[in-house]
Structure 1
Amino acid sequence: MNGTRDGPSGASPPTRNSPLNRAAVLTAALELIDQSGVDRLSMRRLGEALGRDPMALYRHATNKAAVLDGVAEMVLGQLTVDTCDPDWRHQLRLIARDFRRIAVDHPNVVPLLVTHPLATPLGLRPIGTLRPLEHILSLLTKADFTGADALHIYRALFGFLYGHVLTEMQEIVEQPGESTDLLRLGLYRLPIGEFPLLRGLASELAAYDGGEELERGLDVLLTGLTTAVPPSPRESP
């Protein structure tokens, strides 16, 4: 089993007189990102948060990009993959729930987990961000999928998860104090002649529950994968 499902880990940032190390730098960076977002992070602000001269940080991270890569590795280190689980569907569901939990706990980190890696060639990504892929491939090949089919399943799962967390993080109510769901969501702005179905779903849209949507999507995805990509039959000894 790899990782932990017990929640975020990491020590508190050091005081001015305590030793400075990479873990402390990344923990402080994650706290700043959680508070203000990726764009507001700078080596200067990170140095201020740690009570250190920013130049001292470069011994532990060469630049801001290296800090962001480290934060992504640290956060994804919370993602558990039990490569020995005999029920691959159950394990993928647990992985999906873990990934959503990470996104909900650290919404400002989602771009580092979803969109940033897509702009980086696979072999140039931080090693820690590739471990979930390797572990999921291990899980699936142990379940008698070919390597190619295991990769297809991984891509289908994380394509769904990326879309789900981006959608959930963007669910915004325009006017929470309004009396109807149509007004709360701002759907009254849409011409009724062009968007009758969307306007008619105002109550369903307002009742969006990320956890429930995840489970429904996984039901559809895992059922489809079971049919479309069956494991290879074991050869008789």
Structure 2
Amino acid sequence: MAESPTGGKGAAAGGRDNGQITRAVVLAAALKIVDRDGVEGLSMRRLADAVGRDPMVIYRHVPNKAAVLDGVAESVFAQLTVDATGTDWADQLRVVARDFRQLALAHPRAVPLLVTRPLATPLGMRPRAVVRPLEDIIGLLTRAGFSGADALHIYRALFGFLYGHILNELQELVERPEETDEVLRLGLHRLPIGEFPLLRELAPVLASYDGAAELERGLDILLAGLTATLPDPGEVARTPRG
């Protein structure tokens, strides 16, 4: 991802940096603000200050805040790569899932944008970096022998699972990290035991949440289900076409 050429010195000193301002520089600065202060902390004025320019300069590259938010999602998705030439489609999808999780954990406050912003725009009008994983995964799967429709189904199932997993993992917060008692650690003592006995019983499991392990377990279930219910791509590839 492109980084601001200001290096933070000009704005930090209260002066104006004379480096070239590009869309990539603006979006890199926007992502830094979101990473630090969340989406609600991003404004065009703060963005202008971050790159050491008058707000009107920012508007030359991004017309409004909505475009900035789209661009932040784009800049994160641009870091996700898919090897469409991979020979093991299931293994490659695992790689994509792991990489996406790492990106999300690196930019947790940008995750809501990754999940929601692309859906606010028709597919063909989304930034190419956002659409590229879809194209490459369909390419990977159709080369493996799946039909285009089945490849699209697999993509939707994978990213539906990933979005849910990431949102769930980021919400696994503890109330008292220093506690050794799982009920107190998770704040479950605040729930009436008569109404939530099963959650209280599962406190040790909830407290030992392992995001990476949960991801792998979910992928095992997802990929096994897809393999069992979709036509074998090898059989499809060998079927004569009239």
Contact kept, 8 Å, 1:73 with 1:128, in 2: the verdict is yes
1:12 and 2:29 matched: no
Alignment partners' CA distance in 1, 2:147 and 2:25: 41
Give 1:13 deviation, angstroms: 4.3
More displaced 10-residue stretch of structure 1: 35-44 or 173-182: 173-182
SS in 1 for 2:238: coil
Match of 2:88 in 1: 87
2:2, 2:209 → 1: CA distance? 32
SS at 1:114 equivalent: helix
Q: Equivalents in 2 of 1:94, 1:154: separation in Å?
A: 14
The answer for the alignment partner of 2:126 in structure 1 is 125
Q: Could you tell me which amino acid in structure 2 is paired with residue 28 of structure 1?
A: A
Matched, 1:178 2:143: no
Take 1:178 and 1:54, find their aligned partners in 2: how far apart are those partners? 47
How far is the alpha carbon of 1:188 from its aligned partner? 1.5
Q: How far apart are residue 79 of structure 1 and its match?
A: 0.6
Following the alignment from structure 2 to structure 1, what is the Cα–Cα distance between the partners of residues 180 and 149? 52
Structure 1, unaligned stretches of length 5 or more? 1-8
1:236 Cα deviation (Å)? Answer: 6.2
In the alignment, structure 1 residue 39 sits paired with structure 2 residue 30 = no
Shift of 1:64: 1.2
Task: Please state how far the C-alpha of 1:128 moved relative to its aligned partner.
Answer: 2.1
**Deviation for aligned residue 1:65:** 1.1
Q: Deviation at 1:144?
A: 0.9
Q: Does the C-alpha gap of structure 1 residues 180 and 113 become closer, same or farther in structure 2, counting only changes over 3 Å?
A: same
Deviations, residues 47-105 of structure 1 (Å, cap 9, x unaligned) = 10111101111111111111111121111011110001010000000000010000000
1:193 CA drift (Å): 2.6
TM-score by length of 1: 0.91
Does the C-alpha gap of structure 1 residues 39 and 13 become closer, same or farther in structure 2, counting only changes over 3 Å? Answer: farther
Could you tell me whether the CA contact under 8 Å between 1:12 and 1:28 is conserved in 2?
yes
Tell me which residue corresponds to 1:146: 147
> Any conservation in 2 of the 1:13–1:28 contact (CA below 8 Å)?
no
Partner of 2:216: 215
Task: Pick closer, same or farther for the CA change 1:223–1:77 going to 2, 3 Å.
Answer: same
Partner Cα separation in structure 1 for residue 223 and residue 53 of structure 2: 49
Q: Secondary structure of the equivalent of 2:66?
A: helix
Gaps of 5+ in 2: 11-16
- What are the within-5 Å matches in structure 2 for residues 214-233 of structure 1? 214-230=215-231, 231=233, 232-233=236-237
In the TM superposition, residue 116 of structure 1 has moved relative to its aligned partner by: 2.8
For 1:48-197, what aligned pairs fall within 5 Å after superposition? 48-197=49-198
User: Could you tell me which amino acid in structure 1 is paired with residue 230 of structure 2?
Assistant: V
